[in-house]
Amino acid sequence: MILAIAAVFLATCHALTYPDESIAPPLRILQGGYNSSYAVLEFNPFVTPNTLKVLNYFNTSEGNLKAWLNRHPINPNLVIGCNDHAAPNAPGYLTSYSLDPSTGQLTYIDAVNTGGFPVPDYGVAAAHCAFLPSGLVAGVANYYGQSAATFRFDPVTGRFGDEIKTDGILDFPGYTPLPGQIGEAGNDNTSQATSHPHMIVTHPWLNVLYLPDLGEDLIHIYNFDSNGTLTNLGQYHVPLSSGPRHLAISQDGQQMYILFELAAKIRAVSIDQETGLLTQVGEDLPIYDPTTTTFSLNISAAEVHVSADGRFVYASNRNLTSAALIQPGDPSDTLAVWSVSAADGTLTRIQSAVAPGSRQLRSFELSPAGTTGSAGGEDYVVAGGLRTNNTFVFRRDRASGLLELAASCEGTYQPSTYLWL
């Protein structure tokens, strides 16, 4: 069936100077955030200096926030999004859209309520969504809803089907913090007062799904069958008060990188190629530069990616201080870069790439193969400052893994997710 489906779908800107490249069409990037509107950006690496600008702002008819967007793995003209709305009693929504690849415009198709068990004074906050590899199932993690959910999905029409019954294995209400965690029972102003599922990730070829829970300091591990039915495989526990937020898996399926939001650290683990279970490799490392920065709870890890060749890992550092705008002399947020040992998978820090004038550098995405001028892709990284409403594109050296700022742009409202078009 998968093969049959695939057959059907055969602002003010600043820039730095780089050498001229062959003339080619500019690249486009879709930017979502904590707003019902979204932007399409145009990045041109083929002119000197490189440029980045807001091309268009759009709205969709249903008005849901687009805090996280994910493109369908088989039909690239379909996108799902989740609203991550934490206002009191706000429901979680998983929404599907058709994508016009020429303009980046999204058109609303369908939406489902993601359920959950919202804690008092908060909404469900559907924080992350993803497809299972078949493209026939869409999943969502409800951060304040203390749960996750999976729904059948039609990759032709873009409509959701029924929620897949899980017999409660994706429901985690009633968690009580343990001694040593950053939480107080009944007070969800603290980060680990309840369960906080934060992301859904599947292995490249094993039928294994991973669900990091920032509140419980563990990763739930499940097997899924061809119908999307889940069964428990176990849990991977991390040190108390770590707060596992996001994961990245190497394309060869051998390694996983776990980002700890609360501890502001990263952990490399190996993945058992038969079971999908996890084993730590090396020590946990800070995402900030320990030679220049002292840890505080205002340092918060946000996003992690591994390059397609598995040689480099990238993570974003976001400053959670209350000031909405960065002031002269304030430090800007950074992207941390590590090289990966070919021998044992351990990490070595090689760079802290500064995004000048950014605060809460949250989401970032490597450009995929086929979107850039040179063979292999991944020549660029786009990242956004949530509090400062700005977006940055870095040039990535695929040999060294190092980043260099190529261009930046203002006017991207509360950016929290990007898609390279």
How does 388-407 read in b/e, with b if 16+ C-beta sit within 10 Å? bbbbbbbbbebeebbbebbb
Instruction: Work out the burial of residue 374: count CB atoms within 10 Å of its CB; fewer than 13 is exposed, 13-18 middle, 19 or more buried.
Output: exposed
Residue 214 and residue 192 in contact, taking contact as beta carbons nearer than 8 Å: yes
Q: What does the alpha-carbon distance between residue 64 and residue 130 come to, in Å, rounded to a whole number?
A: 17
What are the angstrom distances between the C-alpha of 370 and each of 48, 158, 373, 377, 398? 22, 25, 8, 6, 15
**Complete domains list, the chain, with CATH:** 2-420 (2.130.10.10)
Instruction: Work out the burial of residue 55: count CB atoms within 10 Å of its CB; fewer than 13 is exposed, 13-18 middle, 19 or more buried.
Output: middle
Q: Give the 3-state secondary structure of residue 416.
A: strand
Amino acid letter, residue 162:
D
Instruction: Report residue 3: phi and psi, to 5°.
Output: -65, -35
Q: What does each of the 421 residues of the chain score in pLDDT, given as a tens digit?
A: 444 444 444 344 544 443 444 567 889 999 999 988 899 999 999 899 999 999 999 988 887 889 999 999 999 999 999 988 878 888 899 999 999 988 999 999 999 999 999 887 788 899 999 999 999 999 999 999 999 999 999 999 999 999 999 999 999 998 988 888 886 655 555 578 899 999 999 999 999 999 999 999 999 999 999 899 999 999 999 999 999 999 999 999 999 999 999 999 999 999 999 999 999 999 999 998 888 887 777 788 999 999 999 999 999 988 766 555 556 667 788 999 999 999 988 999 999 999 988 888 999 999 987 655 554 467 999 999 998 999 999 999 999 999 999 999 999 999 999 999 9
Residue 330 DSSP one-character state: P
Residue 165 DSSP one-character state: P
Question: For the whole model, what pTM was predicted?
Answer: 0.92
Q: Which segments of 320-377 are extended strands (E)?
A: 334-340, 347-354, 361-366
Residue 8 structure tokens:
């059907």
Q: What residues does 248 pair with on adjacent strands?
A: 257
Q: What does the alpha-carbon distance between residue 418 and residue 84 come to, in Å, rounded to a whole number?
A: 15
Residue 186 and residue 221 in contact, taking contact as beta carbons nearer than 8 Å: no
Q: What does the alpha-carbon distance between residue 395 and residue 413 come to, in Å, rounded to a whole number?
A: 23
